[in-house]
């Protein structure tokens, strides 16, 4: 509770000292609220990676400053042929996924593409993922890479939100109990994504 109150006070001071629009201020406050809630989950929930064996000491997760300019909109362009690819997990295992399609975003007058992967969970349910590495990887951010949630919409013309402020580390960034998918060379963004989650272990 003490951490939550301090975080909110600092947030309001930060927002008040910057020339953000009312909409941007509301967005920043919402992202900060989500981060506080995630810390509460990570610290207290029995299914959190911090409460598994081997035990990992909990500390608040680390983030870059929230930047509304790293929120983008894109349609999903499906690949005509959805190739099956084998990717590696951090424990050396192979994983089979489909290259389902891609989304794009423009930053500093350059366009970048991110592949959307389709996988199948152990329970047989399909899921879709975005993951990436960039010029901060293994420096300020986790050495394997970071993820973005992606929920497929049935509308072919649906406009997706690609919000790098929500980029997060997979569970293997916190605990050796877990294995996670390693982004491929095609998932490298040749820019610095200085938003989202930073390294947990230094």
CA distances to 63, 144, 182 from 139, rounded to whole Å, are: 13, 11, 17
**Two tokens at 190?**
């040749």
**Two tokens at 21?**
């629009």
Q: Is the pLDDT of residue 185 over 90?
A: yes
On whether the CB atoms of residues 192 and 169 are closer than 8 A, the answer is: no
Helix (H, G, I), strand (E, B) or coil at 171: helix
Cα first-last separation, the chain:
26
pLDDT tens digit sequence for 58-103? 999 999 999 999 999 999 999 999 999 999 999 999 999 999 999 9
Query: Would you place residue 13 in the very low, low, confident or very high pLDDT band (cuts 50, 70, 90)?
Result: very low
How far is 146 from 60, CA to CA, in rounded Å?
18
Q: What is the mean pLDDT of the chain?
A: 92
The confidence score (pLDDT) of residue 2 equals 46
pLDDT tens digit sequence for 20-38? 999 999 999 999 999 999 9
């Amino acid at each position: 509770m003490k951490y939550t109150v301090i975080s909110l006070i600092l947030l309001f001071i930060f927002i008040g000292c910057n020339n953000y629009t009312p909409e941007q201020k509301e967005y920043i406050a919402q992202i900060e609220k989500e981060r506080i809630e995630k810390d509460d989950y990570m610290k207290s929930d029995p299914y959190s990676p911090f409460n598994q064996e081997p035990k990992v000491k909990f500390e608040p997760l680390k983030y870059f400053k929230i930047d509304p300019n790293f929120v983008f909109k894109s349609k999903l362009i499906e690949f005509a042929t959805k190739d099956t690819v084998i990717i590696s997990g951090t424990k050396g295992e192979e994983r089979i996924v489909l290259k389902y399609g891609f989304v794009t975003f423009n930053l500093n007058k350059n366009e970048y593409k991110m592949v959307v992967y389709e996988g199948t969970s152990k329970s047989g349910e399909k899921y879709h993922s975005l993951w990436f590495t960039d010029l901060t990887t293994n420096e300020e951010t986790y050495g394997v890479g970071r993820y973005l949630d992606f929920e497929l919409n049935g509308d072919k013309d649906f406009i997706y939100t690609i919000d790098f402020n929500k980029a997060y580390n997979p569970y293997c960034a916190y605990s050796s109990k877990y294995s996670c998918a390693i982004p491929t060379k095609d998932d490298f963004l040749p820019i610095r994504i200085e938003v989202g989650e930073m390294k947990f272990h230094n």
